Chains A and B, each alone.
Chain A
Amino acid sequence: MEQEKLRRLEEKCIQDCAPPCTAACPVHVDVRSLTGHIARGDFSAALKLLRKTLPFPTIIGSICDQPCRSHCNRSLAGGSIEIAALERACAFTADTPAPKILVLPARDKRVAIVGGGLGGLTAAFDLRKKGYAVTVFEAAGSLGGSIRKVGGERLTPECIEGELAVLEAIGVEVELHTKADVFNLPDFDAVFAAPGAAGGSQYLPVDPITYATAREGLFAGGSLLRDAYSPILSVADGRRAAISIDRYLQNVSLTASRAGEGSLQSCLYTNMGSVKPAIAPPRSPNGFTIQEAVQEADRCLQCECLECVKVCRYLEAFGSYPNKYIRETYNNLSIVMGVRQSNALINSCSLCGLCAEVCPKGLDMGSVMSDARRIMIGQKRMPPSAHDFALRDMLFANSDASALCIPAPGKDSCEYLFFPGCQLSASAPEHVEKTYALLRDTFSADVGLMLGCCGAPADWAGRDDLLKQVLDDFSVQHRRMGSPRLILACPSCSRVFRRYLPEVETVSLWEVLEKSGAAPVAAPAREHVLSIHDPCSARNDGRLHESVRIIVTNFGYTIKELPLSRQKTTCCSYGGLMWFANAKVAREVIDRRIRESGDDYLTYCSMCRDLFASQGKRCLHLLDLLFENDVSSSSSRACPGWSQRRENRVQLKRRILTKLTGEVMTDDACEHQQEFFIAADVQAVLEQRFILAEDIRQVIAQAEQTGRKLVNPETGSTLAYHKLGCVTYWVEYSSTPGGAFSINNAYSHRMEIIEGVKS
């Protein structure tokens, strides 16, 4: 990934943008953290934070004109946070001694500040901290200027003296009763003219960004630039001038990178949808008490976006948010030597696109992670185990054992080709047969059938080589059938064909069924409420969402929509092969989805159905409504295991060939196969370990043929291992009286055993 693209993607995530209050504050006080500290009762931390931005927090807290407040999101739900009052409360409440201000080593430059109001004093404070020798000239007999007039009872002279004492402490020199001539201060290297409201316009023109004047080394700003007095803008003026003077004295650009100074428009989005109104607590005459302040600070919404993280368990599970994930991903792809710590982050995404739907900027982490996987494949850095099982399953679905492509019975080609998808054939093979029969009735028999996988797993894994192979093989068969229109039952197939073979005409099975008015074998006996889970690969297919809802309603069911449905539906955890790369998060994704409603779920993707069922959710596939007599018991049908899924595909092909072509598949290996039994508890372990019955068969066959096996003399059980592809499988088994084997356990590893064989 190039730096440029990285930056563009990072910019799309706005979570790190300043909230509206901080952006609007001319000196960008971190109000969100401030209220956070106060809400926890930590006034010392709050004051420490304030001092980072404000030189005189008690003064500002007492008289700030708060341009931030009108931008506060709380204004929409009970009224803006009383920010200045909270600042004042923490200045008076915090039991912290005056901090020791760090002054940088002395520099050989002198700065004169003419005018001892807030602007001048802020500039004096900032410049002194940077190590410059600073002298403040004030015509009156005391510092502070306008603050003594606007402060009123809230700001006593003692309080002002206390706050300004910091200037003397850090070594700012003050000349009271001194009317300095800004044009005649030859002992100073730079001059900031901050004469306050009474200053007049003798220094204009002043550059509005740098406060530089036409005269070398003379800067001017403060209330003279405005009609009305604003304490916080005066502080901002002083800070802006101090930045310019520092740059001037260091002989660097005055104008570079200054866009971030002053009041800004926040680009942070905060969802106010679920915010309950709350009003500020009544304030005691002298300002908030401790309890009142804590209560008020607690009203702060702690504005943040996280729209995607809120709806995606995967994004939440890695503990951060897209801006950080994008950087981690980029770093991961750039590592030459070292540990790639973000492989799991990259491979766990379901690529479902929900983040892009809810993101105010449309950032799609799925496409970031999909690109990253392809880069890892190109770098030969993809962990071999990440997608291995799913890709082998895809190859099996397209192997002679289970793949099939036949024209309409009695013909050489067909007008329509039903492509049920590999997982429907694996989950409910009898529904494939029934649907195929129904389609032949609907379209006067001119419908062929193709069993196989569309290549989605290769697409998800970033394996463009395997995807191309699958699509090329498909295209050859498709042309052989006379380039028929595809009837698709699986939304993932639909997505792959539309994306990679746009020339192939496709139609969804559900649109066909809706138009043909197909009737269910049994109507619901009583009201049966179904919540529809739209598969994530159908996210952008509004027409399909409608067809499904029309069918379900016509069949006599009541629909209750889930909070996240249609375009904003969630993934079942199979998308992007999350299930294989991160089973833990995948289980959490399923768990979160199935808890959204107590009603039975209805979906039109067999993988969604099976995965929800695998964690105990009552869930139906749309074809269950069409073909099952007892829909209620169908909704608790178990999820077939990985071995059963393969077996279902194999048997489906056999049955169809026998029924439609009279051909009987022969399988020599089949006749000599050793029989074995797997108890349910052992089977559950094998499923979790992605160990197939076929793997076990091969290990036993190898062991029994060669005699290379271990025996336990105490129990009589046998242990054998055999490397199949990249994985070594271990099977522990026992003989049964009938001559078959009973499987006790199995496990696997990818490390290779280099045996020191002795002859």
Chain B
Amino acid sequence: MTLDSANKAPWHCAACGIPLEKAKVQIAYLGSAFPVDLLRCSRCGIVFIPEELALTRMAEAEKILEDK
């Protein structure tokens, strides 16, 4: 799963005061885990999941896993 718009997101980590960077992050549901390209704070690990990703591809993946 990748998302180009994630790369353009303007979010900074409030606690660390630095911009987020592209990173591979594991996301998991019902015993299945996948690596996703997300923006993440390289210092504290807080991530950014864009609304569009959550409502489309993540929602679809959740449904597929729920029906498996």
Contact = CB atoms under 8 A, between A and B. Distances in A.
A343 B67 contact: yes
A757 B58 contact: no
A748 interface: yes
Given A751-B62, A753-B25, A756-B23, A712 B11 contact: yes
A710 B9 CA distance: 11
Q: What is the predominant secondary structure among interface residues of chain A facing chain B?
A: loop
A755 B68 CA distance: 25
Interface string B15-29: 100001001011111
Given A711-B11, A719-B48, A730-B54, A751 B66 contact: no
Interface in A714-759: 714-715, 718-719, 721, 730, 745, 747-758
Interface string B32-68: 0100000010111111110100110011011110111
Nearest to B46: A708
A384 B59 CA distance: 13
A708 B15 contact: yes
Contacts of B61: 751
Contacts of A752: 27-29
Contact of B49 (A385, A708, A730, A756): A730
A97 interface: no
Q: What is the predominant secondary structure among interface residues of chain B facing chain A?
A: mixed
Given A752-B29, A753-B49, A710 B58 contact: no
Contact of A341 (B12, B30, B62, B67): B67
Given A751-B28, A758-B45, A343 B12 contact: no
Counting contact residues on chain B (CB < 8 A from A), the size range is 35 or more
Contacts of B23: 756
A710 B20 contact: yes
Contacts of A718: 14
Contacts of B67: 339-341, 343, 383
A713 B12 CA distance: 7
Contacts of B49: 721, 730, 749, 753
Interface string A579-599: 000000000000000000000
B4 to A, nearest CB: 19
A750 B29 contact: yes
Contact of B26 (A386, A754, A757): A754
Contact of B45 (A712, A721, A756): A756
Interface string A370-386: 00000000000001111
Which of A340, A710, A756, A758 neighbours the largest number of chain B CB atoms within 10 Å of its CB?
Answer: A710
Interface of A: 338-341, 343, 383-386, 707-715, 718-719, 721, 730, 745, 747-758
Interface of B: 10-15, 20, 23, 25-30, 33, 40, 42-49, 51, 54-55, 58-59, 61-64, 66-68
Given A386-B66, A718-B14, A756-B23, 18 more contacts: A341-B67, A343-B67, A383-B67, A385-B62, A708-B15, A711-B12, A711-B14, A713-B12, A747-B54, A747-B55, A751-B61, A751-B62, A752-B28, A753-B26, A753-B27, A754-B26, A754-B27, A754-B28
* Smallest CB-CB A-B distances: 8 pairs: A383-B66, A757-B45, A754-B26, A710-B11, A749-B54, A755-B45, A751-B29, A711-B14
